[in-house]
Homo-oligomer: A and B are copies of this chain.
Amino acid sequence: MSVAKYRLVLLGAGQVGSHLAHRIDECPELELVQIYSRKFASVQALAETLSREPSSTDSLGEVVYDADYYVFALSDSALTTVWAQMPKTRGIWLHTAGSVPLSAMQPYHGSSGVLYPLQTFSRSRCLDWTKIPIYTEATSPELLGNVMSLASMLSPNVHHASSEERQLIHLSAVFVCNFANHLWALGEELMMQQGLDPKTLQPLIEETCAKMLAMSPREAQTGPARRGDRMTIERHLDLLREVRADLIPLYTELSDSIQRMYNI
């Protein structure tokens, strides 16, 4: 009979929490004993989708005392509130946030650490955890060993990063994920605004992604700013003045940034 090595409590049933719960559920060496969320309906709905159903609670007072890990997958703003209201527990407390320093958690529980999965989580997406880099940190080298051993059960791609490094990784992630996605939303919006089908941009977006993964984005850069094509840039600014003047500073900032990168 195989026995779970670590018993976990998960706090948070949002996008990150849901994906973590499913990943933990897949690992025979891990046992998710309890999930907490302020919203009982969300936590119960999540618990029911797991093959080994944990207990559910919406009360921090009911959180079990003797798990090995307490994983806080909550919004940055909820973290300190929840930590302040947590009962005393054994085990290691971990948060999953890119930009929250470990020092913000330590006053609430000495044995604490970070398990930051570098990925964009949406409930409707199926993710391959073997490809997700996990950045870990802990209050002592011994604890770090424990946290890295837990992380390696979730993904083979485990690293250590200081709070400063993790924040920089999170900032980079905002550029490559959130901001890139926003440019796609803006491109589609521009098309729709003029009655054009935004779906026709998709082959271009697909090739943009495929190319950059094959070549590196620095080499893959094309377009008027990269070519130093002032005439086209001016034409685009004239057009934006007519259709979306609010986007002029963004267009200019991005074109200037490209020209600075390539000394054009």
Interface residues in chain A, defined as those with a beta carbon under 8 Å from any beta carbon in chain B: 15, 75-77, 98-99, 118-122, 124-125, 127, 131-133, 157, 159, 161, 165, 167-191, 194, 196, 200-218, 220-227, 229, 231-232, 235-236, 239-240, 243, 246-247, 249-251, 253-254, 257-258, 260-261
Contact = CB atoms under 8 A, between A and B. Distances in A.
Contacts of A218: 185, 188-189
A167 B240 CA distance: 11
A176 B194 contact: no
B174 A217 contact: no
Given A183-B183, A220-B181, A168 B239 contact: yes
B202 A213 contact: yes
A251 to B, nearest CB: 8
Given A190-B172, A253-B253, A118 B200 contact: yes
- Main SS of the interface on chain A? helix
B206 A209 contact: yes
Contacts of A159: 200
29 contacts: A75-B229, A77-B231, A122-B211, A124-B215, A131-B203, A157-B200, A161-B196, A168-B243, A169-B200, A172-B188, A172-B196, A175-B184, A175-B190, A176-B183, A176-B205, A176-B208, A177-B222, A178-B258, A180-B180, A181-B208, A181-B222, A182-B254, A189-B218, A189-B261, A205-B213, A206-B209, A246-B260, A250-B253, A250-B254
A167 B204 contact: no
A212 B132 CA distance: 18
Contacts of A124: 215
A261 B222 CA distance: 27
A191 B168 contact: yes
A208 B157 CA distance: 19
Nearest to A131: B203
